[in-house]
Amino acid sequence: MIYVDNAATTRLKPEVLEKMMPYLTDHFGNPSSIYTSGREAKIAVNSARAGIAAALGATESEIFFTGSGSEADNWAIKGVAHAAKGKHLITSAIEHHAVLHCFEYLGRNGYEVTYLPVDSLGLVNPEDLKNAIREDTALISIMTANNEIGTIQPIPQLAAIAREHKIPFHTDAVQAFGHIPLNVNELGVDLLSVSAHKIGGPKGVGALYIRKGTKITQFIHGGAQENGKRASTENVAGIVGFAHAAALAIRNLDENAKKVTELRDYYIKRVKETIPYCVLNGHPELRLPGNSNFSFEFIEGESLLLSLDMKGIEASSGSACTSGSLDPSHVLLAIGLPHEIAHGSLRISFSEDNTKEEVDTIIAELGPIVQRLRDMSPLYEGIKNKA
């Protein structure tokens, strides 16, 4: 198997699992208990909190553990909205559904939402943000880097606009954390969401950075965990694993980024050289190191995915067909792709575990698969006849 869907999830690193194991077996105490095993678990959670804080340039008291990146997004958006007096919210048209669905929910419940457009490369224009701000704007949320096309947003510039108007600014950094340098003070954000399983950590644990002084309501009620802001017994093993995965990612960030960028650029070059009628989606330079997203004309992304899977290659489609929807990706439509081209997209996302030999294998299989699918397309038949 060749796994190149690391934007969806990553393999749990063996050394991370090793750090987690004691808290899945012998050290099983509840961090809220006052006896020895509980105190040991509490110490482990607080040590992990310090590690995540250090990775983000935050203080320990500003880091709150959650059950996922999606929960962190939900808490940031709904929590700030409910704590504010204003009823106007701003986000972008290409956010992850964990963000978009929050705003859609709030939009149905008394709030007005402005969805900022993006250009053909997936970038938000800071002038559009300036023009969208109103006196009753309560929150701005723009993702750090897009999960589908990899485009990295100018967050410091966007956050500075929000700060000038005294509006809380949230960024979904789930795809970016551990892959590009992130410092909450350099970014200028008030809230930032991250997740463990995108960086070789376990599933089921995330974190939300909340800048001191930010007004936000409690998201889960029922206990005094997370400084009284997020009830629920802590996932001690997951939190310990998250912190260790983050430490490894930050320590090796430059080396890993260099390797996966080289793999990505080699793959992009080979696709362009060997497969006609394809479009690279996203910014050519301002993109996540391991991300590549191509749209192949005259084919369906779902058929492409299944064909690759039969060859032992696990990737992802830019089309939402695989989730039961007939609509193409909202991200690809937002950057201006027509429906018929957006439907034929393939996202390959590399990690440091991938190799150049694997890229060569992908290219060797991808070209014939694309050609076979095109040969069944009446649209492609028309192109061939014209040629």
pLDDT 10s digits, 76-89 = 999 999 999 999 99
Does 32 have pLDDT greater than 60? yes
| Coil, strand or helix at 86 | coil
Q: Which pLDDT value is given to residue 384?
A: 67
Q: Which residue has the tokens 């060797």?
A: 364
pLDDT, residue 378, reads 83
- d(C-alpha 191, C-alpha 211), whole Å: 6
Q: What is the pLDDT of residues 103-133, one digit of tens each?
A: 999 999 999 999 999 999 999 999 999 999 9
Number of Cβ within 10 Å of residue 238's Cβ equals 23
pLDDT of the residue at 325: 60
Whether residue 386 is predicted with pLDDT greater than 90 in this model: the reply is no
Distance CA 201, CA 44 (A): 16
Count CB atoms within 10 A of the CB of residue 128.
16
**In degrees rounded to 5, what are phi and psi of residue 206?**
-145, -170
Q: At residue 101, does pLDDT exceed 50?
A: yes
Strands (E), 129-231: 137-141, 169-172, 191-195, 206-210
Compute how many other C-beta atoms are within 10 angstroms of the C-beta atom of residue 334. Answer: 22
- In 143-280 the beta strands, taken as DSSP E runs, fall at 169-172, 191-195, 206-210, 278-280
pLDDT at residue 380 in the model: 82
pTM of this structure: 0.96
Verify whether residue 278 is a known catalytic residue: no
Length of the chain: 387
pLDDT per residue as tens digits for the range 330-354? 999 999 999 989 999 999 999 999 9
Percent of the chain with pLDDT over 70: 96
What is the crossing angle of helices 236-251 and 36-56, to 10°?
30
Band (157; pLDDT cuts 50, 70, 90): very high
Q: What is the pLDDT of residues 276-330, one digit of tens each?
A: 999 999 999 999 999 999 999 999 999 999 999 999 999 998 544 445 566 789 9
| Secondary structure element (H or E) that encloses residue 346, with its range | strand 345-349
Q: What are 195's two structure tokens?
A: 């997740």
What is the reported pLDDT for 383? 74
pLDDT at 317: 84
pLDDT score of 385: 67
pLDDT of 203 reads 98
Predicted pLDDT at 377:
87
Task: Please provide the average confidence, as pLDDT, over all residues in the chain.
Answer: 95
The Cα 173–Cα 69 span in angstroms is 9
Please provide residue 22's backbone torsions phi and psi, each rounded to the nearest 5 degrees. -60, -30
Contact 271, 294 (CB under 8 A): yes
Q: What are phi and psi of 117, to 5 degrees?
A: -75, 170
- Report whether pLDDT(381) > 90: no
The one catalytic residue in 321, 334, 335, 369 is 321
